[in-house]
Structure 1
Amino acid sequence: MNDGGDMKMRLIATDLDGTLLNEKHEISKENADAIQKAKDAGVEIMVATGRSYNAAKKPLDKVGLTCPIICLNGAKIYNKEGQIISTAPLEINSCKSIQHTCQKEGMYFELFTNKGGFSESRDKFLEVMVDIAATANPDIDEETIRSRASERFQEEEIKITNDFEALFNQPDIEVYKILAFSLQEQQLSNVYHQLKTNGQLAITSSGESNLEFNHPDAQKGIALEGFAKQAGIDMKDVMAIGGDNYNDVSMLKMAGRGVAMGNANDEIKKLADFTTTSNLDNGVAHAIEEMLSEIQKGK
């Protein structure tokens, strides 16, 4: 936690889903204005997300925000000009282990690579989600259920493949993240426990129904620290905002000022230095305003 008379802030890193984005998956005017206020005060802004670069840029473009982006949980870092400055791909043997384990457990998964996103079929898994949700909620109409189920997927472009072996055998393939979904807690638990001892994997989650697999170096905190070091910024002068899910924990712990969202769970809030309001109540704006106010008061 960064306090004392010499407090300054040079970089703010914010998560997207459940943090900077509201329930419409958009950046509110309040959040956009606060970000501009921080930039006017000489603070650099960056995004740190589990999304791919293109999916991360969509809500940023809507409010005219151009900034560096840590994407796929830290597997790729882009500068504000959109150039890749760092990558941390998975080992291919680890990818094969994830594929085989997920398929054995009947669990749907998606790959994010240097050649785009791949899965067997989103539509097939969507139907499974709709059936389960409809059984559990017989009073809700199918259109509403389908809409809610679709929201489980982030805005990613996914190609269909049934031949992962051929994909993994391509000599120039790089896999940055594998995202596995299940609505059954036992499936998630089985896959996690079978793969947690693999030293070449970092396993996190960005929601109650998924597991995210990355290289151990592909974590938001490590990526943020690497970016800050390259920019000549000390981590004590970095504020990280997030914590709605566990893939934010590393950056909240490593930043000088870690801010958990009001919609984060209590365990994550305890790891942060501060807690702001929820993403539905412009939590990022509140966090930025509070930080700027403290600096002005010389706290």
Structure 2
Amino acid sequence: MVGYKLIALDLDGTTLNEEGVLSDENIHWIQKADEAGVIVIIATGRGRQTAQPHLDRLKLQHPFIVMNGSEVWRQPGELLDRQFVPRTCMNQCIDLARQYGVMYFGYELSRGLCCNFEPSSEEDNEMWMKFLFHSDELAKLDEIRGIMTDWSEVEVSSSSVKNIEITPKGISKALRLKEVCALLQISMDEVIAVGDGPNDIYMLQAAGLGIAVGNAMEEVKLAADITLPYTNGDHAVAKVIQQYVFQK
């Protein structure tokens, strides 16, 4: 078996249960892996503000990836890089969201998470790192996604069937994971990546071992090397660490 040196974990739908909570079992095994010298990093679509409480509970002092890679941190308190969505694209996204009557959110450098905010003017100094459409009406999201197919300035992905996530062009969890591994001098063959959503697919494919949790979307399962019989509610992350780090 490969001696894996790093585990990259998505948060929502993977490490967190359906209530958005870290289970004690997942915390225990993540910390055991860390103590054993295996680096565990979080790679999430969340912004730092909403990811931070979970990072604090895990007490990890390693790099972490937020907003699908728009921000990557060398360690808590030390930024490695940050990229922004062009202002014109943000305004176009707002126009689309309003046209279709769906909720929308954005992550701005100084304001954090904002909901249904106003478009930026040319005089504004706002710097947006991510945009998200959200709706229970999946047909509307399909139409929006179709309109955005030819947009060349941003990356279009999703973490669930109920959203569309917009990040800067070329930015993804996979790219940032490769950058982190280069920084730590770890080969991608020595990496386990675990996820559940379409925004995890490239990361799973880039890792030496890509694992989809049991509740992952079908396209994610097809892209993964392994699909677990355990869901995020069954402490799937703890099971991964037990099997692939401690061979239990």
- TM interval, shorter chain, is over 0.9
2:113 equivalent in structure 1: 117
Q: Larger relative CO (CA 8 A, sep 6+): 1 or 2?
A: 1
Q: Is the contact made by 2:154 and 2:170 (CA closer than 8 Å) also made in structure 1?
A: no
Which consecutive residues of structure 2, in runs of 5 or more, have no partner in the other structure? none
1:183 is paired with a residue whose SS is: coil
Q: Is the contact made by 1:203 and 1:213 (CA closer than 8 Å) also made in structure 2?
A: yes
Q: Identify the structure with the greater strand proportion.
A: 2
Correspondences of 1:32-111 after superposition (within 5 Å): 32-111=27-106
Q: Does 1:164 align with 2:119?
A: yes
1:139 equivalent in structure 2: none
Pair 1:270–1:26, CA change in 2 (3 A): same
Q: CA RMSD in A?
A: 1.8
Q: Quick one: percent identity of the two aligned structures?
A: 30
Amino acid at match of 1:35: I
Quote the offset at 1:65 in angstroms. Answer: 4.1
Quote the offset at 1:87 in angstroms. Answer: 1.4
Quote the offset at 1:169 in angstroms. Answer: 3.8
1:164 is paired with a residue whose SS is: coil
- Write the distance in 2 (CA, Å) between the matches of 1:215 and 1:198: 11
1:148 equivalent in structure 2: none
2:5 equivalent in structure 1: 10
Q: Is the contact made by 1:53 and 1:69 (CA closer than 8 Å) also made in structure 2?
A: no
1:215 equivalent in structure 2: 168
Which one of 225, 235, 251 corresponds to residue 188 of structure 2?
235
Pair member with larger Rg: 1
Pair 1:46–1:199, CA change in 2 (3 A): same
Deviations 1:90-117 (A, max 9, x none): 1222212212222222222111111222
Quote the offset at 1:218 in angstroms. Answer: 2.1
Quote the offset at 1:66 in angstroms. Answer: 4.3
Q: Is the contact made by 2:107 and 2:128 (CA closer than 8 Å) also made in structure 1?
A: yes
2:139 equivalent in structure 1: 186
Correspondences of 1:288-299 after superposition (within 5 Å): 288-294=241-247
Q: Is the contact made by 2:159 and 2:198 (CA closer than 8 Å) also made in structure 1?
A: yes
Q: Is the contact made by 2:102 and 2:133 (CA closer than 8 Å) also made in structure 1?
A: yes
- Write the distance in 2 (CA, Å) between the matches of 1:270 and 1:51: 24
- Write the distance in 2 (CA, Å) between the matches of 1:183 and 1:227: 35
Q: Is the contact made by 1:11 and 1:237 (CA closer than 8 Å) also made in structure 2?
A: yes
- Write the distance in 2 (CA, Å) between the matches of 1:10 and 1:181: 36
2:211 is paired with a residue whose SS is: strand
Deviations 1:154-212 (A, max 9, x none): xxxxxxx4x3133x6424x3211101111212211111111111111211111221111
1:239 is paired with a residue whose SS is: strand
Which consecutive residues of structure 1, in runs of 5 or more, have no partner in the other structure? 121-160
Amino acid at match of 2:71: K
TM-score normalised to the size of structure 1?
Answer: 0.77
Aligned residues: 246
2:19 is paired with a residue whose SS is: coil
Pair 1:75–1:35, CA change in 2 (3 A): same
2:72 is paired with a residue whose SS is: strand
1:174 equivalent in structure 2: 127
1:264 equivalent in structure 2: 216
2:150 equivalent in structure 1: 197
Q: Is the contact made by 1:9 and 1:43 (CA closer than 8 Å) also made in structure 2?
A: yes
